[in-house]
Each structure stands twice: as structure tokens, then as C-alpha cells.
């Protein structure tokens, strides 16, 4: 029986590992399936995380109830196994996973996402998420179990290890190798195997054929565990909520400045899971204590980077934020591990942890966008982690109050003395010295509180809060939606629209120059030459992606411009003449269509447009579904004979030219690459920015006007050799962003 018992333990660990891997592997997969329906918005990932946190909470509540039934009397444990077998079988009726429909323009995005996720993956997620706590409970308190505690919690490490493997395998192995259809089929087969493993472990552990002499052991173990105070439960919830909030906050911060694709979503969540694994290991207490001591230092570094408005080099900046997440997660999760109850209370412990995870994630996804005009939830979560990790609270004194308010006062004085430095810091265009001075003085003053983590956290929050207020007042306009934070600010004398650190257009405020399209749309750039060559032939124009509305300046009298934009905030900005006047000054007739550009374009008549401009890729959170073979084929249906399709492919982190080349080749089309990367200094000062455009047509003759080098050349010769194999094609069922990442 010893060998059998040891074998069951290893099988239980394998079952928990596989279940966790499959559970966390489905998250990026289903998020990718949903992205095309919401224009690639980062809100998809945050809401998906909230959904899976809520599913975990429901699954843990179900597991807790089932274990209570299982210890209510003789034979009940086997009855509980039968109930779980039925629950595991139900999802087989709805697999493989499929996502149908799309959100309407007037429907709340988050609620549509939650409803869609519930119908698509609700049942399998509930069943597979309950596997880990149930198997852990039955291994600790099954027939004859003694509930020693540590052995059961060791299986929690296997669960987090499986989650980590599932997350890492998706962007590195699954996404580059399989289409979405193949992924859903693989996941369905894997789910069936996981369900079978779970049932085998439950049967072997509870052994209905064995004598029923000691079935009351689990009941005795619960009695010996003792009651849990509500204060302890509340502490568990708080210690679980703050790291969950911090993980999503870091994700939002990174995906605002980098690309919103599964790899970047996975990294913070992977770090979050690793902190759980380490915290519940034998070395967890020591590592957690060290992380708690390091956290104030990282808090100050994040404060310094934020006040400086630093975005480059991106990998170093990201490293600071990820280190802060790791430190905060380790410190708080280690305290959770130290306060865990006996194994008899295991399922209840997990239930409160899941509740904390839901509350932390929901705060970031639903409360923060409605309450804060900026990403205030990030410094708030980081400061809360620092305060919770403090070993002892500081005593109140006048000296501490002075030190607490000093960073805020210094920041306000510096902003008053150098308002230009503050405004230029917003866009990261100020000199390094002025930014360091503006950020360094408050940071040094906050450093005086290093030995008082609670007060340090409060000081940093006040300083960053004051910084946010000053930036908000310096902005001409600021609005936060589910698609991100949009700001209009005066930079180098021009009104500039920014989404995170990405510029989406600018305009001179004076009447003499305000009619000149700037940034990527300058008359001397590729798109300016496209409209100049078309001239009066461009009578019917479709613009997917509005920005400041700069391209409307190319619409002449009698022309009609259809503007397709998914974010209502961008429409309000472009139509506000106090911010930008490109739309109000244009003599062309304009029609605005709110919603995903590809979906709304389907409603237009065939052969309706002389020019279609897809201008949705300059932001680093690119909507992949707008650059697939099926999407380009749909655009061609809407093009009139002799019409052209212009793709704006400017991007700091992704080289999208090979993707466009692969699609053009697969559809038998013709294209020219307009590469305007070397902009003279004089034009840079006038507001022009480098840009990359690809012009696509059915016939070679339609591209004759765009053949002159050095700006225009063949798209294949414009590719970077060796970066992506020739002929790569993105489809609605397959895309691999890692292969076009600029290394």
C-alpha cells in the first residue's frame, strides 16, 4: 500500500500541474480570439483576467461546499466524487471553444466581454479550476487521511508551476505553431485528459472498496484545526487583492507603451505566479522578508522613473516595474503562506484568496477607469504593497509630517518655477538634466522615510498624486476610456494628441499653418504624395483610424470622407475645434462611423471608395485583425476600379512590412513601400515625423505614380532580409507577432 500511496501522490501532483497549465493556457488563447471584436484594445486582457479570477472564486466556492458535503457522514466522500465527475463531464457538451458575435457601439465593452467569456469558456473553466483544491483536499483528508497540512500545500506549488508553464507555452510554442482552430481542438482533447486524470486520482484516493473504518478522520481534522477569526479572513483577502491589482496595473502600464499581445500580458502574470510558488516553498519566509526590505527601494525607483516621464530604453524601464511587481508579490504572498491554516481548512483558505484576487482585478478593470483620469491605480497598488509589507508602523510625529509633505511641496515649487519643463516632461522631450531635477528632488526627500515604509508609501502616493494633478492641469484635454488614456498637450508649440507615449498627430494653433497636416501625414511624406498624385480622383475616401483628423485636410470640395473610429473619445477630440480643426476646416463632406473599422466597413457598398486608408497600427497596441489576408480581401471588395489601399505601418516595436508583403503576395496584388524614415532636421522642427506606408492596388499600372526612389520602392526589396521568411501571411486564424518584433 505504501507504493500505491506514493504513486497516487505523484499522480495527484501531475493532475494538478496539467489542470493548471490547461487553465492558464486558455486565457491568452481566448483573449486573442476576442481581440478582433474590440479593435485590439488592452481592456480585453484586463477583463479576461477579471473573468478568470471570478471563475476561480466560483470554482473554489464549489470545491469548498463539496468538501463539506464529503465529510458530513459515511459514504458522502464517494458521493462528492460522483458529483464532481458529472461537473467534469458537462463541458464536453460545449467544446471546442468558440467565440461568436461582436459588441455593438452602444454596449458596455466590459459587460459584453464578461457575457461572451461566460458562454464560451464558463463551464470548462469552472470544472478545471476546481480540480486543484479538490485533489489537494482529498490527498490531505481522504479516506484515512490525517491532514498533516504541509504536504497538501506543497501541491499548491505544483498548481502554480503548471500555470506558469501554460502561460509561457502559449506565446513561445502554441501561438507560433498552431492556428486558433487547431488550438481550440488541442485544448479540448487536453481537457478530456485532465478530467480523466482527476477522476482516477479521486477514485484511488477515496477507494470505495476499502473498509470504512476511519472515514471520520477528516471530520476530526476539521475539529482540531480550530475556528478562523474574521480578522484573519479579511487579512487574507487584502493580502491577495493588492498583488492582483499590482499585477494588472503593471500590465496596463507596459501595454500602454509597448504592444498589447500575449507575450507582454503573460510576463507580469508569470511573475505573479512565481511569487506564489516561492512564497509557499520552504524558503518562502526568508525570501519574502528580503523582498519586503527591497520594496521601498523599488518604490522610490518607480517614483523617479514616473516623475521623469521615462519610456526609453523600454527594456530597462520595464525591468524596474517588473522588479517592483515581483518584490511586492513576494512580500505579501509570503505573509499569506505564513498565515495559512491547517489542511482541513485548505479549501476555505483558497476561497478567500480567490475573493481577494477578484476584488483586486475588478478594481483595476472597472473602478479605476471610471474614477481616475490617469493610471493612478498603479502607484496606489504599489504603495499599498509597501505599507502592508512593513514590519511595524511608524509613530506620528511633527518631523515625519514635514518629511511626508516635503516631496509634494518640492514638486509643486519645481513645477511653478519651470512650467515648461513640466510640460515637456509629459512627452519625454525635455532634456535629461531638467527631467532629473524635476523628479530627483522629491525622490530624495522621500528617501528620508526609507526606514518608515508606511510613511514612505504615503509620501510617494502624495507626490505622484500631486504630479498627476499638475499634469492634468497642464493638459489641454484628458480622457480615459477602456481603450486607454488620451491626452492633448502643447508640445513644442503644437497641439499634440498622445495615447500613452505614442503620438497620434499634432497641429499648429495659428491660422497660417493649422491647415498643414503634421506628424506622419505631412504633405512631403508618403501619404501626402499619395493624395497629391490622386488629386480630384479621390472623391470617396474611407479612413479607418481617426487620430486628430489630419487626413481630412486632403479632402477637396465635393469629396466625401467616411471616418471609421472605434473610440468615441477620439471622435470627440478630433471634432472639438478648440483642440484640432482638421475636420472643421475640411471642405469635404464627412460621415463618422463608430465601431470596429473592419466590421463597419462591411456595411459599405461594394466598390464605394477610391481610397481606403488603414491608419490603426502606429499605436503599439495594434489591432492584428485589421492586417490579415481576409481583412485585405474585404477592403478590396470596397475599392472602386483603379482604387488604392494605403496601410500605415509606422511602429516603434513591430516591423509590419513583411506581414503586408506576405499578404500582398498571397492575394496576387501589387504594392509599393513608402519609407520616409530620414527626415531633415528642418522638417522635424516643422512637425513632420518619419513614417512607413504601403500602397496596394489590383493592377501594377495603378501604382505608376509611386515608383520613384528613394522614398518609393518595391515592397520585397523594402523587407529586412532574414527577419521573417518571405511569404509570411497573417490570417484570421493565425498570427505570430514575435516574429516581427524589432530586436
Q: Give this prediction's pTM.
A: 0.77
Percentage of residues in the chain having pLDDT higher than 90: 14
CB atoms within 10 A of CB 70: 25
In a shared domain, residues 279 and 139: yes
Q: Classify residue 588: in a domain, yes or no.
A: yes
Residue 705 lies in a domain: no
CATH number at residue 589: 3.40.50.150
Distance set, CA 611 to CA 51, 538, 542, 696, 697 (Å): 41, 6, 6, 10, 10
Grid coordinates representing 559 are 469629396
Edge-first strand listing for the sheet containing 540-544? 589-594, 560-565, 540-544, 609-614, 639-648, 691-697, 670-676, 712-714
> Mapping DSSP to helix (H, G, I), strand (E, B) and coil, where does residue 431 land?
coil
Residue 265: inside a domain? yes
Residue 628 covered by a domain? yes
Q: What DSSP string describes 660-681?
A: HHHHHHHHT-EEEEEEE----H
Does the residue 622 lie in any domain?
yes
201-225 b/e with 16+ CB inside 10 Å = b?
Answer: bbebbbbeeeeeeebebbeebbeeb
On whether both 291 and 353 belong to a single domain, the answer is yes
Residue 509 domain-assigned (yes or no): no
| DSSP-derived secondary structure letter, 78 | H
Are residue 113 and residue 254 in the same domain, yes or no?
Answer: yes
Inter-CA distances, 411 with 154, 300, 470, 720, Å: 48, 15, 9, 46
Tell me whether residue 708 is in a domain: no
Distance between CA 6 and CA 28 in Å, rounded?
35
Q: Mean per-residue pLDDT for 168-194?
A: 86
Report whether 273 contacts 167 (CB < 8 A). yes
* Domain tally, the chain: 3
Please check whether residues 617 and 731 belong to one and the same domain: yes
Q: Which of 474, 499, 532 is the last residue of a domain?
A: 474
| Number of helices (H), then strands (E), in the chain | 27, 12
Asked if residue 721 and residue 607 are part of one domain, the reply reads: yes
How far is residue 354's CA from residue 363's CA, in Å, rounded to a whole number? 14
Lowest-confidence region among 36-40, 76-80, 378-382: 36-40
pLDDT at 573: 93
Q: Is 75 left (phi over 0), alpha (psi -120 to 50) or beta?
A: left
Q: What is the pLDDT of residues 236-289, one digit of tens each?
A: 898 899 899 888 888 877 766 554 454 566 788 888 888 988 888 888 788 888
Q: Is residue 165 domain-shared with residue 234, that is, in the same domain?
A: yes
395 with 383, same domain: the answer is no
Span of 57-66, 612-621, 685-694 with lowest mean pLDDT: 612-621
Are residues 543 and 468 located together in one domain of the fold?
no
Q: Which domain holds residue 355?
A: 2-208+217-388
Minimal CA–CA distance to 238: which of 70, 87, 102, 363? Answer: 363
User: Quick one: 550 and 655 in the same domain?
Assistant: yes
Q: Residues 142, 276: one domain? A: yes
Grid cell in block for residue 415: 513645477
Last residue of one domain, picked from the residues 388, 403, 427: 388
Task: Give me the mean pLDDT over the 671-681 stretch.
Answer: 87
pLDDT at position 507 is 92
Give residue 409's pLDDT band: very low, low, confident or very high (50, 70, 90).
Answer: low
Per-residue pLDDT at 606 exceeds 90: yes
Torsion sign (Cα): 270, 273, 279, 280: negative
Let me know whether 257 and 162 are in one domain: yes
Q: How confident is the model at residue 568 (pLDDT cuts 50, 70, 90)?
A: confident
Which has the closest alpha carbon to 191: 161, 160, 166?
166
Of 388, 406, 431, which residue is a domain's last?
388
- Least confident residue range of 435-449, 462-476, 571-585: 435-449
Mean pLDDT of all residues belonging to the chain: 77
Q: Is the pLDDT of residue 422 over 80?
A: no
Residue 357 domain-assigned (yes or no): yes
Whether residue 418 is found in the same domain as residue 382: no
Amino acid at each position: 500500500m505504501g507504493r500505491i500511496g506514493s504513486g497516487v501522490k505523484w499522480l495527484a501532483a501531475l493532475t494538478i500541474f496539467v489542470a493548471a497549465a490547461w487553465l492558464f493556457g486558455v486565457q491568452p488563447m481566448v483573449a486573442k480570439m476576442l481581440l478582433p471584436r474590440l479593435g485590439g484594445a488592452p481592456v480585453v486582457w484586463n477583463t479576461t483576467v477579471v473573468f478568470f479570477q471570478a471563475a476561480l472564486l466560483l470554482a473554489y466556492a464549489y470545491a469548498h461546499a463539496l468538501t463539506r458535503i464529503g465529510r458530513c457522514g459515511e459514504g458522502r466522500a464517494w458521493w462528492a466524487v460522483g458529483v464532481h465527475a458529472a461537473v467534469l463531464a458537462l463541458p464536453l457538451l460545449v467544446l471546442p471553444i468558440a467565440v461568436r458575435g461582436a459588441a455593438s457601439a452602444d454596449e458596455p465593452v466590459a459587460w459584453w466581454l464578461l457575457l461572451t467569456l461566460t458562454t464560451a469558456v464558463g463551464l470548462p473553466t469552472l470544472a478545471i479550476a476546481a480540480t486543484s483544491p479538490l485533489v489537494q483536499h482529498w490527498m490531505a483528508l481522504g479516506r484515512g487521511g490525517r491532514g498533516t497540512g504541509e504536504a497538501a500545500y506543497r501541491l499548491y506549488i505544483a498548481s502554480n508551476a503548471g500555470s506558469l508553464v501554460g502561460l509561457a507555452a502559449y506565446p513561445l510554442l502554441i501561438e507560433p505553431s498552431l492556428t486558433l482552430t487547431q488550438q481550440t481542438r488541442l485544448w479540448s482533447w487536453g481537457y478530456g485528459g485532465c478530467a480523466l486524470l482527476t477522476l482516477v486520482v479521486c477514485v484511488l484516493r477515496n477507494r470505495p472498496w476499502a473498509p470504512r473504518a476511519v472515514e471520520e478522520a477528516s471530520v476530526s481534522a476539521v475539529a482540531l484545526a480550530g475556528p478562523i477569526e474574521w480578522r484573519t479572513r479579511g487579512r487574507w483577502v487584502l493580502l491577495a487583492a493588492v498583488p492582483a491589482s499590482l499585477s494588472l496595473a503593471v500590465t496596463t502600464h507596459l501595454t500602454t507603451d509597448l504592444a498589447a499581445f500575449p507575450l507582454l500580458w503573460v510576463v507580469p502574470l508569470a511573475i505573479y505566479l512565481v511569487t506564489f510558488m516561492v512564497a509557499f516553498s520552504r524558503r518562502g519566509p526568508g525570501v519574502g522578508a528580503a523582498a519586503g526590505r527591497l520594496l521601498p527601494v523599488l518604490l522610490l525607483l518607480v517614483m523617479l522613473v514616473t516623475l521623469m516621464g521615462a519610456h526609453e530604453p523600454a527594456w530597462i524601464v520595464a525591468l524596474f516595474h517588473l522588479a517592483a511587481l515581483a518584490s511586492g508579490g513576494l512580500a505579501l504572498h509570503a505573509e499569506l503562506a505564513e498565515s495559512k491554516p491547517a489542511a482541513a481548512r485548505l479549501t476555505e483558505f483558497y476561497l478567500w484568496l480567490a475573493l481577494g484576487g477578484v476584488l483586486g482585478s475588478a478594481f483595476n478593470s472597472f473602478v479605476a477607469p471610471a474614477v481616475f483620469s490617469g493610471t493612478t491605480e498603479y502607484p496606489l497598488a504599489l504603495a499599498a504593497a509597501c505599507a502592508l509589507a512593513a514590519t511595524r508602523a511608524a509613530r506620528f510625529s511633527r518631523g515625519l509630517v514635514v518629511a511626508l509633505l516635503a516631496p509634494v511641496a518640492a514638486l509643486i515649487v519645481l513645477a511653478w518655477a519651470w512650467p515648461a519643463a513640466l510640460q515637456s516632461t509629459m512627452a519625454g522631450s525635455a532634456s535629461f538634466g531638467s527631467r532629473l531635477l524635476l523628479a530627483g528632488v522629491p525622490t530624495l526627500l522621500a528617501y528620508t522615510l526609507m526606514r518608515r515604509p508606511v510613511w514612505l508609501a504615503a509620501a510617494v502616493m502624495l507626490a505622484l498624486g500631486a504630479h498627476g494633478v499638475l499634469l492634468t492641469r497642464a493638459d489641454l484635454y484628458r480622457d480615459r476610456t477602456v481603450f486607454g488614456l488620451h491626452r492633448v498637450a502643447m508640445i513644442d508649440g503644437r497641439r499634440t494628441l498622445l495615447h500613452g507615449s505614442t503620438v497620434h498627430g499634432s497641429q499648429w494653433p495659428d491660422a497660417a499653418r493649422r491647415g498643414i497636416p503634421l506628424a506622419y501625414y505631412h504633405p512631403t511624406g508618403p501619404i501626402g504624395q499619395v493624395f497629391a498624385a490622386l488629386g480630384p480622383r479621390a472623391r470617396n475616401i474611407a479612413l479607418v483610424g481617426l487620430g486628430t483628423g489630419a487626413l481630412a485636410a486632403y479632402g477637396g470640395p465635393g469629396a466625401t470622407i467616411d471616418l471609421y473610429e472605434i473610440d468615441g473619445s477620439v471622435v470627440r477630440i478630433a471634432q472639438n475645434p478648440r483642440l484640432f480643426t482638421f475636420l472643421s476646416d475640411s471642405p469635404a463632406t464627412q460621415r463618422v462611423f463608430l465601431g470596429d473599422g473592419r466590421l463597419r466597413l462591411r456595411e459599405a457598398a461594394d466598390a464605394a471608395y477610391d481610397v481606403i486608408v488603414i491608419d490603426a497600427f502606429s499605436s503599439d497596441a495594434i489591432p492584428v485583425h485589421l492586417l490579415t489576408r481576409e481583412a485585405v480581401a474585404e477592403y478590396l471588395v470596397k475599392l472602386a476600379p483603379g482604387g488604392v489601399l494605403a496601410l500605415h505601418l509606422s511602429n516603434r516595436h513591430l516591423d509590419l512590412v513583411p506581414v503586408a508583403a506576405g499578404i500582398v503576395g498571397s492575394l496576387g496584388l501589387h504594392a509599393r513601400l513608402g519609407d520616409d524614415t530620414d527626415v531633415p532636421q528642418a522638417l522635424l522642427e516643422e512637425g513632420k515625423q518619419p513614417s512607413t506606408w504601403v500602397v496596394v492596388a489590383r493592377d501594377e499600372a495603378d501604382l505608376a505614380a509611386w515608383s520613384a526612389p528613394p522614398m518609393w520602392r518595391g515592397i520585397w526589396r523594402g523587407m529586412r532580409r532574414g527577419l521573417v521568411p518571405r511569404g509570411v501571411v497573417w490570417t484570421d486564424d493565425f498570427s505570430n507577432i514575435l516574429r516581427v518584433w524589432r530586436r
